[in-house]
A and B are shown apart, each in its own frame.
Chain A
Amino acid sequence: MHDGSGRIVVQGLTKQFGPVTAVNNLSFTVEPGSVTGFLGPNGAGKTTTLRMLLGLVTPTAGGSTICGLPFAQLGNPGRVVGAVLEAQGFHPGRSARNHLRVYAAAMGVPDQRADEVLHLVGLGQAANRSAGAFSLGMKQRLALATALLGDPQVLVLDEPANGLDPEGIVWLRAFLQSFARSGRTVLISSHLLGEVEQMVDQVVIISRGQTAYYGPLETLRASQQSRVLVQPADPQALVAKLQESGIGSIEWTQDGRLAISGVDRKEVADLAMSSGIALYDIQQEVIDLEQLFFRLTSGQYSGAPVPSPTGYPPQPPGPSPWQPGNGWGGQG
């Protein structure tokens, strides 16, 4: 028997599709009572990871457990974990109610449960309509109803907001949060941080199949950095002064200004003043979470070296593009 904890453990999961490494040595834990966001750009390996977790894809290496057991050993898995996956199919000719009754029979829950979950997701009126005629949003709701059929302790959702109207997204957020608050587990993937930002407690961010960040969303928020953009009369002199005073993260921006991170505007202005360097322009730039997410995962298409997995404990973004060397080389 499973341990009833609702904990998800992913350990060293790797999947190779021929020459493509979809997931590379991925590890994370999802604790019950929380909503964990599983984030990464398209093609990062989210779907593949979730499908490995659910026993649909055979890992090349590593493994995963739900409630302490691999999926195949859960016994009656529909009663332990419910899943909404991308491209999950419905027979176009089968009505929503009949679809649910098929799987109610498979997991041994009473037929009336089919109607309960239909009402829960707001499809009560469409119970007798064929799933083939459903809109994308209605299909997502039906998929969620299917996932909830067995009253599972763990919910795994792969981009569930796709196709949902704004109202549906708000409803989903509230639903998942109350689901987690009752001590159960939610793992939800998305390629947009903003889409899940308001409902997740923990995040796992992956890029090119590897962990880029793993930890509480709060820690990630706290690591938000700001930088100061200045346009000095004598940039070389200012850089020398900044380095003298131990401020290391400086780079050139596209428009020829200096970007200095880890300081505030006043410090830079004071330093320039005391060194007698005139500043034509100075402003503070705050980097929001979405930009941070983009930075964490942007290695994917830029051809830059992949940031090494940071794993545990959570760390601020990998190799910072603001290291002096980075911006200096070509321009100095």
Chain B
Amino acid sequence: MLEVENLRKAYGPLLAVDDISFSLQPGDVFGFIGPNGAGKTTTIRMLTTLLEPTAGTARINGADIWRDPMGVRRQIGYMPDFFGLYDDIKVWEYLDFFAAIYKIPTSERQSVIDNVLELTDLSGKRDSFVQTLSRGMQQRLCLAKCLVHDPMLLLLDEPASGLDPRARAEFKELVLELGRMGKIVIVSSHILPELAAFCSKVGIIERGRMLAFGSVNDIVKQARAGRHVDVRVIGELDGAVDVIKSMPHVLRADVSGPSSFAIEFSGDEQDQAQLLATLIDKGIRVIDFRERKFDLEDVFLQVTTGAVN
């Protein structure tokens, strides 16, 4: 498992990563979401031992990034946000090179290479030159390279950027497969919908701070403690709002349009039904009474603009 403790990175006065802590279990696919410059790459690079943290630490299966960097490196596969492959080299040679670096015994290399090529759907490109591959294929080759030593933790920094929708979908499948294989996969992105759908855990980071962490459902619940209902009425709007404001559990009620208002309240479904019943009892002509459903996207926008927390 991966444990991150109070990780921090300062560039002069700028705190690129500010006291981040979380932990992940095998099988977790973790979506690391935040706008550009939020500190995703910095965090990931500290986990890879490429960048020295200002403070804090992280452990991968007990291997500490400070005390046992080689132990960490043996267990991770890292795909940088921008990467290049070697020219003048064939796909299998590229993988063989890294298999050698990761000290895979010569006798096993052949089957290891075949396996990762199969997994990344590149078997047909075995003898092609690396520079002839498309962007999506290079991405997959880089992932194949990350897998030759069967790492515990995969760190994929913005893997979907620069891929067409089809390649994205394939990549997503691949990441899910890796999760099913029991690996920890960290995928970063600045585009939320890309990740929300398939990650088992999500972390939202902005300006170096982890604003939310957990499963998608948990985060939505956490950020949205109450229920939100949009109401549209015919006739006197202010009277309707006054009626609602006098009800129990109602936290606020604001006019949101010429004939509509929004209610935020902390009750359950029973109370919600009671709201509607009361409005009708008081003779207010309701034409729309609808609970607003929130998804991670709304939470993301709210959290990162500081509306919540």
Partners in one complex: no
